[in-house]
Amino acid sequence: MLPKFFAGLALALFLIVSALPAQATLSTDLQNLVAQGTTLRTSLTAISVAQGNTCTQLGGFNTSLESYLTSVQTVYGQITGPVTLTTTDLTALDTLSGLAKGMAADSVRLSLELRNIEGVADLFEYRAALSAMLRLADDIGVMANRILEMADRVLVMADNIGAMADRILLTQQLQNANVALTQASILTTQQNMVAMSDSLSTIAYNLSLGLVKNETDALIGEMGGATLTSQGMAVDLSRLEAQASLLLNSTVTLYTWISQNSQVASHYINGDTLTLMGALSSLQTALAFSLETYANTINQLAPLTATPILSDATASMLRLTADIGQMSGRIMEMADKIIVMADNIGLMADRIVATQNLQQVNIELTQNSVTIAQNVILTVIKNYLGQ
């Protein structure tokens, strides 16, 4: 009888002693989470878009927040046995949910601050901050959820619900209200961020690209059809120069349109746009090759050509080469601008690389021809005009 009594006593003592550290650990863990959460909240409050470098600040904060979430998850994972709830524990849970609510309110403030700079910053600058903001909203939401889940788990595991019923109910109600407010703030943050996102399909450019392509085709036809003579070269080149100048204007107008759009909206790349960009760069090589041919012809005709005609012709040639060089550069830049903020960059990656390869080969050929033409013309000026 006595041994049984002692055995029972020993078991009871063991259970009491082993339950106490578990209880103490939960209380300590919750207090630690409150302390870490308060530090985090303070650092988030200190972040302001006006300070600049928003994406670095938010990135650093997000990293800390994710470490904090791991800590919350660890504490949650350790609540595996019965716990005896104390008022301090419940107060800690209340404070934690209040911290999540406060951080969610801060995320709304930051999203409003970001909207204010929308007009003065390029899309790519605040797009980086936008990603960080959405990640922040996501993480704060997860934090609020984990805290609520922890409170629910504590309730499931609690062995003194009856004694603490009123206080538990207060905590559950507060948690519920705070989670609702946190989620509402996160939704507002997301709405603010999504409202800043705009997207355009590049199909809108295809018509203009097609027109530029047709005009380039026409200029190639004109340049291929013109035969320079010592008498008529200045007139012919002046006419071609005017046509090239119009084509350059069309190209620059399209480039400006795409540049302006790429500052405020991302692009959904249409396959035909890439095809047109590649085709245009091929046409530029044909234009540049014609220039090279003209320069050689002028070089041959120079001794037989009157100085005023030669002077006008070489001046026209320099302007033509400048215009065609500028055009080919702008065509490549147009493609670059579209790619930077492409919505479907991953889906179109292979096509983009293929187009960039084609453009690169073409621009190499174009620049070579343009440089050869310029060098020949400069030699003509040096030898025959002596300017």
Pick out residues in 45-84 that bind another protein (CB under 8 A). Answer: 53, 55-56, 59-60, 63
Answer for which of 22, 69, 220, 345 binds another protein (CB under 8 A) is: 345
Residue with smaller CB distance to another protein, 128 or 210: 128
Q: At closest approach, how far in Å is the CB of 197 from another protein?
A: 4
How many positions of this chain bind another protein (CB under 8 A)? Answer: 94
33 touches another protein (CB under 8 A): no
Spell out, one character per residue from 356 to 385, where the chain touches another protein: x when CB under 8 A holds, - when not: xx--x--xx--xx-xx--xx--xx-xx--x
Residue with smaller CB distance to another protein, 220 or 318: 318
172 touches another protein (CB under 8 A): yes
280 touches another protein (CB under 8 A): no
Contact status, residue 276 vs residue 210, Cβ threshold 8 Å: yes
Residue 107: partners with Cβ closer than 8 Å, 6 or more residues away:
44, 133, 136, 137, 140, 185, 186, 189
Cα–Cα distance between 316 and 312 in angstroms, integer? Answer: 6
Length of the chain: 387
Answer for which of 3, 162, 225, 308 binds another protein (CB under 8 A) is: 162
Residue with smaller CB distance to another protein, 217 or 364: 364
Locate 110 and state its tokens.
Answer: 């930051």
Cα–Cα distance between 266 and 199 in angstroms, integer? Answer: 5
Contact status, residue 212 vs residue 250, Cβ threshold 8 Å: yes
Q: At closest approach, how far in Å is the CB of 205 from another protein?
A: 16
Span near another protein by CB under 8 A; candidates 90-98, 167-175, 208-216, 288-296: 167-175
141 touches another protein (CB under 8 A): yes
Closest to 108 in 3D by CA, of 195, 31, 177, 37 = 195
Q: How far, CA to CA in Å, does 87 sit from each of 90, 155, 173?
A: 5, 13, 15
Residue with smaller CB distance to another protein, 191 or 214: 191
Residues 201-260 that bind another protein (CB under 8 A): none
346 touches another protein (CB under 8 A): yes
Sign of the Cα pseudo-torsion (22, 25, 30, 36, in order)? negative
Residues 100-139 that bind another protein (CB under 8 A): 122, 124-125, 127-128, 131-132, 134-135, 137-138
Q: At closest approach, how far in Å is the CB of 303 from another protein?
A: 16
Residue with smaller CB distance to another protein, 144 or 209: 144
Residues 309-338 that bind another protein (CB under 8 A): 315, 318-319, 321-322, 325-326, 329-330, 332-333, 336-337
Answer for which of 7, 35, 304, 349 binds another protein (CB under 8 A) is: 349
Residue with smaller CB distance to another protein, 214 or 379: 379
Answer for which of 180, 203, 211, 218 binds another protein (CB under 8 A) is: 180
Q: At closest approach, how far in Å is the CB of 6 from another protein?
A: 30
Phi, psi of 197 (to 5 degrees): -95, 125
Residues 188-207 that bind another protein (CB under 8 A): 190-191, 193-195, 197-199
Residue with tokens 């904090």: 68
β-partners of residue 201 are 268
Answer for which of 46, 67, 116, 152 binds another protein (CB under 8 A) is: 152
Answer for which of 22, 69, 117, 187 binds another protein (CB under 8 A) is: 187
